[in-house]
Amino acid sequence: MPRLTADLILSAPSFINPVKDRQLDLRGKLISAIENLGATQDQYDTIDFSDNEIEKLENFPLLNRLETIYLNNNHISKISANLGDSLPKLETLILSNNRLVNLHDIDLLADIITLKTLSLIDNVITKKPYYRLYVIHKLPTLRLLDFKKIKQKERVESTKMFGQPTIIKKGKKGKRAVVQKEQHQKTFTPGEPEPVAPPPKVVTDTPADVLAKKIAIENAKTIEDVQRLERMLKAGKAQEDTPMVDT
């Protein structure tokens, strides 16, 4: 089976694509593993690995420039850890038509803290209950999932079902959490019956509540909504089931 050698990389076509990114074309080479990408000398914004036989998303050297990877129509069933360290600017990852089966298969993508667009179309994982809400929970930086914009309503539903996401930001000394980690144990496990919401009660606002209300104020559609939400924010107390304003 052909390997992704330095010679193959250096002889592959490259061009400026329609969005004016420098792209390397490695489509349809029958390669089964990602390797030797140091030969690119970090010259590309986009690499296209479509229509190969790659089995695992792994083995990237440090590529500070790379923003987009196409891996549709491969055999990927596993994702390695620490991809964010090698791909610090990756924003778009297309994994359509691969072999990702379980919801937890995508957990390690949370390490890519710049990721905004992800496609998992035509993977078995998309058939799992609560698939979309789970991915939104695990990858809070996403804006587009399967080419559909993530709505604020979906983020709220995801938080209700799985708890507050952990948002990670890269600081001077590496990665660190800058927004609260999950404050409660995960309230729902995929495959179990959906939990029944507890009766509303009065609680003191946490930092997460304050942030959620500020987002709601920004998205409020009437002056009455804004005034009501501002009063709640100042008071510091609210019903747990206070509805958010959807965009």
Q: What is the pLDDT of residue 227?
A: 57
Asked if residue 110 lies in contact with residue 139, where contact means CB atoms within 8 angstroms, the answer is: yes
Return the structure tokens found at 193. Answer: 């019956």
Residue ranges covered by each domain of the chain:
6-177, 202-239
Residue 15, amino acid: F
Whether this model's pTM surpasses 0.75: no
243's tokens = 């509805």
* Rounded CA separation 108/11 (Å): 32
Position 201 scores a pLDDT of: 45
Residue 58 CA to residue 82 CA, distance in Å, equals: 9
Q: Who wins on pLDDT, 223 or 13?
A: 13
Q: What is the mean pLDDT of residues 43-51?
A: 98
Residue 149 one-letter amino acid: K
Instruction: Look at 186 and 126; give whichever has higher pLDDT.
Output: 126
241 pLDDT band (50/70/90 cuts)? Answer: very low
Is the CB of residue 29 less than 8 Å from the CB of residue 50?
A: no
Say if CB 120 and CB 106 are below 8 A apart: yes
Q: Does the pLDDT value for residue 179 go beyond 50?
A: no
- What pLDDT digit, counting tens, does each position of 51-75 carry? 999 999 999 999 999 999 999 999 9
Lowest mean pLDDT segment, chosen from 10-14, 72-76, 120-124, 188-192: 188-192
Predicted pLDDT of residue 166: 76
Q: Which CATH superfamily is domain 6-177 in?
A: Ribonuclease Inhibitor (3.80.10.10)
